[in-house]
A and B are shown apart, each in its own frame.
Chain A
């Protein structure tokens, strides 16, 4: 069965989740912080290490499984959700995680991402968004801001980027969240919520690539700007940040100075609103400039999972069946005749 993981008092420690492989990201890479946060979070799952599987695609971020002492597969570019779907569907006893990058998940693997989300396979998908192709040395990605100057776009990129959360919400995702590599407490809080969610959990993690896209998230990190830029979503709380607030506006949401709005007009966050339009409106508050960037759990609703339903059909059909006898009956079904 695929019950949501119960987060017990941890028996294991972060170090138990470190593999013997030397970690090989560039110095200062945001992936280190995410790895440390995940390693110290995993004991909270309350699972033995062998019950956890990490599957990744290709990219700097996708080296992740090699550094965890769990089962792991570093697969091929963009396809991790497919492999994870096969594993999660056939093995309900496992906690299956996908680690992917903005190129891996949104470019080459875009098709698999949206289908995993719409199916609601019990997977936790961690998208490390550095808004660049790291491993292939710095080409622009589907999340790079327009006009990006890279080796492959010396005069500036001209295509409009994806907003990963809007995409996930449009794909019928049941759990959608965003967090930051540099905020370990928040990152772990989001991982916890994702782990507890039954079904696909999509977590975008803003990750700094100091080599090819340094300071891409500086506005969310520097002491001078972050309070005005980060919107921390908390269930049951009015959405306020700095001296601003989020209010309804037309068909969507809008940021206003607190001074200009009535307290009662400030939207109170609820991640379990059934209509994805609300979470979608939240996802649209930040443009490529990241000036008003909500982090936290945007959406978390319940829907039957794909894997559970698939297994249920097979279990129902196969309960108590003696396969050999049934095969004999199958072979002999319909029109048969006997030659003496």
Chain B
């Protein structure tokens, strides 16, 4: 590798290997043999070429904030870090797009296009550190996905180095053309189809007006009814997030904030767009909530208020550190109308397993993030956490949903996902993998179950949250 890329761009040694052994899913660790830092597509191609020559697997890594083990070098080999591919190459305000290297941080893109009144809409909670390459490969979402859509809806074209070290360009700056669109496969492929080096991103105008409301409910049931009712009235809020009382009590303790006494849940609703539209939408949303029994409504008069209303949502997970030494967050999706049933199930399963559970999640999308909190030093706890997590995901599937709304399959969910697939469904997925990962060296052992030479993984839990 050093011969190909130069000393400066290759690092190895115990310290480095340890740092690059996992992402934010830190329970499964595998140390790579070295880490390379190409600066552009050409250098990435050289690195991949070398991996193929010496028959060593390679895995792309952005910021390592992934939550399902996507960057873990399960079979060792080379980690291709995009850290030095961090340039914004072009901003084209007329055509509302920007060309960036894969290692550029999401927030940096937004900072660069803001002067033009534009934004890159996907806003994962990790956006101050996570990279565009990571967003594309995980098809990331965020609180504003409800209205603006996921990353797939905001990527126009991606350049990647595939598993044969060929440079391919998928998609086009002009969307919607005739024929098969290979870009749809690349987005969300979790680094298994190649290494993305550059991408043209679609930009959208920043909203003229943002209206935010924080609404309290005295029962969980009335809050989830309100979620369904808001949407039934023809409003698609920019964000519709829910926090239950366990999150609130953590936030109250941590930040000294007060929420209306007797609240079992809060909904954070944001509507945006042209001034008139944002105003009338938030009014309808609030009315819907009141009709469902909301007990308190607080709206933001200015940006400072807005930030305060978002505190529980943005800092809730961090604050939960106060409830117990360990928290584990799950990520599942259900049809929105099944939220009442699902939440009842989550509380019941926590109680059955003597665990604490708090819910803070993208209610509008039906994307649940139950956080179990516990003390892992107590004997038997870990087993109970695993059992509860598995029951939650099974329930998501049973209710017609999905085992992941944003964290991806990675290593973590290979089993829970694949057991819901028929043999034909699986063959459809495998066909894609085999068509593109011809060398079998590109991020092996991820997404698709039963790959050759991949050890079966242990049952485990994930320890970070969104």
A and B are interacting partners: no
